[in-house]
Structure 1
Amino acid sequence: MSVYFILLYFFVYGFLGWCTEVAFAGVKEGKFVNRGFLNGPICPIYGVGVAVVVSCLDGLKDNLILLYISSVVLVTALEWFTGFILDKLFHNKWWDYSSMPLNLNGYVCLLFSLIWGVACVLIVKILHPLIHKALDFLPEFVGWTCIVLFGVTLFVDLYVTVTDILKMNRKLAKMNEIATELHRISDEIGENIYEDVTEALELKEEMADRLKERAAEFHERRKDLSEDMREQIIELRKHYRELILRNPAHMKRIIRAFPKLESRKYKDALEDLREYIRKNGKKK
């Protein structure tokens, strides 16, 4: 099979995969959701997966059982590998089958692997022959022109998407820093209160005037400390809220497109951001 057709298969099935994801999300959410890793109407994992299946397994189309088993193995390996690479590159888990039985690292699970196997058999036996005939009818010059145009668009989209994800991770990192600082201040306040109470109890055995003197010192110190920390807390919370409120369209799309997106490093910050986007979306 030529590189020309493999590339065409990639774009055609990537687009059909995106349509499938959008349709599924539309039925589930009751609204349009631009599903997929990229901004454009293509899901590369579908394009790669189906292109690999039809290229490698076309010779097995007359052996239904072997075709099905091979499809399950190939697609499962591809989905696991893609999930693993995306996780390691961006420190985010883009989909999660952890709640499903017989899953592997949450990237794949038996049920969906079996479903993908059925889908691949139907594609190889029914859909692909029609797609191939349509593409074969296309003049090769037109086909290569489409490949170049779609390829350039894909790489630009990939660059933009990766940049957006890195920006989102930096934002989550900043939110996490603020949350950590708020926890630190809270712990410090608690420790100061504990120390003051402990010292006050120890002073019970001292003279009354000495106790009053130290109590006044404690009160003044706590007042100064509380005012300073209160200002810090107000400023940190303000900054945290500003970060949540600043949500460019690309960030909202990523979070809505991957409802099970999980950040390895900044889980709580991502949940706060997701919750705000969810509530804000309902208001609109």
Structure 2
Amino acid sequence: MPYSLPEIIVLFFTYSFIGWLWETCYCSIKDHHFAYRGFLFGPYCPVYGFAVTTILITTYPFQNNIFLLFVVGFIVASIFEYVASWLLEKLFHMKLWDYSHLKGNIQGRVAPQISFFWGIGVVLLVKFVQPFIQRIINWEESWTHGMLALIIVLVMGTDTILSVISVEKFHITTQQWDERAAAYRKKLLDRLEKAAPKDKLAIKDRLQDWQRHFAQYLNKEGAGKQLSWNHRRLIKSFPKMKMTDSKYFNNYKNDLKSK
């Protein structure tokens, strides 16, 4: 093993933070508003931490061969992205990214264009970034003797538990809203069936845009404001987020007042 356990933990945290910083800056610029990225409450994206630490360990024998470094990085990073997407969908019924519009994608979870840049990123990481990070970690280890690693485990472990509880509550809320959305639509259909001919045109117009009207109805109730900070953050920072078992929520979520 090229790294000790405390080193692996600190590397995991460091690259989780760097990944969060990169995604937050990039998406904030792209979306023209501050996008607090990441699944957890804290400023870190564990998928980057897991991916990079695994890459550093698996590519260690190939660090002097740029081609093999690229290939291994391409493969390992793609596997991690696929597994992370699959777990989010199966455990939390969420999709935070979707590459279905890119050629050669696999179930929208990974795409060769994205993985290609992952491979280049791994080469740059191993050759230029990691040597600098490793010097800092070596200095930190000489001072804390593993205490920082213990603190990281406690903080991120607690954060993970709280985040899972929060996302599960969000999932329950979206399903409750979906039930109300279905009832709202059925009510409009019933009104259309019983309406006088002169009123049917107005009801039909409302039916065509019923999901936006339903979002407005929720906003009048203050439903959007009743969401926790983390729930509003997820809606705002992940505009392409989808709940895989909510039939209507994905269509009206962006009309909720999530600020």
Cα distance, 1:37–1:192 mapped onto 2, change above 3 Å: same
Cα-to-partner distance string for 1:63-117 (whole Å, 9 max, x where unaligned): 1111101100000001001100110001111111111111111111111100011
The change in CA–CA distance for 1:245 and 1:19 in structure 2 (over 3 A counts) is closer
Q: In the alignment, which residue of structure 1 is the partner of 2:57? A: 55
2:252 match: 272
Counterparts in 2 of 1:156 and 1:92: CA distance versus 1, 3 Å: same
Shift of 1:42: 0.8
Q: What does residue 30 of structure 1 align with? A: 32
Q: Which amino acid aligns with 1:94?
A: L
Show the 5 A alignment for 1:1-284: 1=2, 2-140=4-142, 142-191=144-193, 241-242=220-221, 243-277=223-257, 281=259
Please say if residues 25 and 33 of structure 1, whose CA atoms lie closer than 8 Å, have aligned partners that are also in contact: yes
Maintained 8 Å contact 1:244/1:273 = no
Q: Matched residues, percent identical? A: 26
* Larger Rg computed on CA atoms: 1
Taking the aligned partners of 1:156 and 1:139, their CA distance within structure 2 comes to: 23
Change (3 A) 1:74 1:139: closer
Q: Distance in 2 between matches of 1:22 and 1:93?
A: 18
Superposition deviation, residue 184 in structure 1: 2.5
Deviation at 1:133, TM superposition (A): 1.8
TM-score (norm 2): 0.84
Residue segments in structure 1 that go unaligned for 5+ positions in a row: 198-236
**Aligned mates of 1:52, 1:24 — CA distance in 2:** 24
Partner Cα distance (2:68, 2:244) in 1: 38
Give the conservation status (yes or no) of the 8 Å contact 2:20–2:45. Answer: yes
Question: 1: CA distance between counterparts of 2:29 and 2:136?
Answer: 29
Structure 2 runs not aligned, ≥5 long? 198-215
The 2-side partners of 1:7 and 1:99 are apart by 36
Q: Distance in 2 between matches of 1:163 and 1:241?
A: 27
Equivalent position amino acid for 1:249 in 2: W
Bigger share in helix: 1
Give the conservation status (yes or no) of the 8 Å contact 2:218–2:256.
Answer: no
Segment drifting more, 183-192 vs 15-24: 183-192
Map Cα deviations across residues 19-40 of structure 1 (whole Å, 9 max, x no partner). 1112212321334321111111
Q: Distance in 2 between matches of 1:256 and 1:193?
A: 38
Task: For 1:163, give the aligned amino acid.
Answer: I
CA RMSD of aligned residues (A): 2.2
Return the alpha-carbon distance in structure 2 between the equivalents of residues 262 and 143 of structure 1. 43
